[in-house]
A and B are shown apart, each in its own frame.
Chain A
């Protein structure tokens, strides 16, 4: 075995180990902040796998989009609403855990079965286009994948406008959650006193 192959194997094992342990941590840890940070780690390791597959542009895009945007947004949301409140105990928690873990394990075994029963065609590594893949990706995005690409951008625009409408309550005449008239001024509402009440 040559040095390059050995290095690749070591990198692959480390990365897959991080991905498996990390994603288990994301699901199983009690602390939501730890889960979010571990999710970032998992995204990074997936980017590492892309690098091993010679897809450096996809790897960089993965880091930029998933780690730099999505994960940061998740963290932002968690930290801005980081209230310390006692949640109500969920009924039948143990049986719920049992059911969901059974479903997950069944799905996993199904995937493993598919993996083992299928004969995978491994492409010749000499045919890999490597650095040229950036150009190839661009060509595809602006020719045969043009419609999905543009539709995705329309979808994102819609989501953005929706988010702005939801965030700017003054667009709507009344509050969605309480049904009270909405105002941006400092008018005392029945459910939210302006001054803190004396106890």
Chain B
């Protein structure tokens, strides 16, 4: 496995050649990946909102947005601007401190989790050792923000929505974590980079989806439930709860919730592609292609092409999953709260435990295929 591009290293080397000490160079480097990922996340949200509008329109035999820009691509920006200039209202009887802190607590952990999403061997903010575990831990903070905003709104629908959201994300976190655990067991590492590298041996054939089909389905269901997407959007079920914990929110505070839920959707899609669909890997390994074409893989041009291909592949896989999520949202009915909890606790949890056990057994029996 080659190391691929290491932009940080080259950047630091370049600064060092100007006589900047390495510590200072590191500090100058730090904001770049963060800003790039933040911008990427927001642009990703804009694209997803546009897709959502267009696909929902197609599913309902409408045309959807078409006047703002070509095919309505500027519509999400118009939406965002509208929310930006709206009056920021805090209800009189609401608890203004918690009311303001709630949306922030929902958004910040989601954005922090982008820390571990790899777009290439060295194309991630930080290859932390605890990797995927960090994401699970961070996503468990979110219910506190939901409870906070539900409570602070001083509205019965908000409180019920907040409670439902928290109950939902707690109960789906466990099967989610267990299906991740099966992957971690096969990889012998929590790091997302290692998880992708472990799947890169034989291109599409070595992707985890073939070795963990049950885990893949469980993970995808739980990820949808964590994102509160239909068919699991009970916390904001319009017919029952107006809009759940978001009912009293307007303007930019509402936009934070909106942004948070879409960033979370893209993040989940990216993580599904990292965990199960080979991350940045091309269906045919790049090494094989370069061997067939007889080009040494160390050439800098090939390195750049590989890195670009990696980013494109990651985003392509993620958006394929986002597309499926959107299609599911506009074609499936909502489950009831008791069905939701039954599915989580009585079906997904035992199955994910069995999947873990099966993975452990297969790992012992066939160490070549299931990571010795």
Contact = CB atoms under 8 A, between A and B. Distances in A.
Query: Do A and B come together as binding partners?
Result: yes
Interface of A: 2-4, 33, 37, 40, 44, 56-57, 60-61, 63-64, 67-69, 71-72, 75-76, 79-80, 130-132, 134
A68 B137 contact: yes
A105 to B, nearest CB: 29
21 contacts: A2-B23, A3-B23, A3-B27, A4-B23, A37-B144, A37-B148, A56-B128, A60-B134, A63-B140, A67-B144, A68-B137, A68-B140, A68-B141, A71-B144, A72-B147, A76-B167, A79-B147, A79-B159, A79-B163, A132-B129, A134-B190
Interface residues of B, number: 28
B170 A72 contact: yes
A145 to B, nearest CB: 20
Instruction: Determine chain B's interface SS by DSSP, over half rule.
Output: helix
B151 interface: yes
Interface in B283-340: none
B24 interface: yes
A155 to B, nearest CB: 19
Contacts of B159: 79
B140 A64 contact: yes
A18 to B, nearest CB: 14
Contacts of A4: 23
A197 to B, nearest CB: 23
Contacts of B162: 79
B143 A72 contact: yes
Nearest to B173: A68
Contacts of B98: 33, 37
Given A68-B143, A79-B163, A132-B129, 20 more contacts: A37-B144, A56-B129, A57-B130, A60-B133, A60-B134, A60-B136, A60-B137, A61-B137, A63-B137, A63-B138, A64-B140, A68-B170, A69-B170, A71-B144, A72-B143, A72-B147, A76-B166, A79-B147, A79-B159, A131-B130
Contacts of A63: 137-138, 140-141
Contacts of B129: 56-57, 130-132, 134
B170 to A, nearest CB: 6
B137 A76 contact: no
A37 B152 CA distance: 12
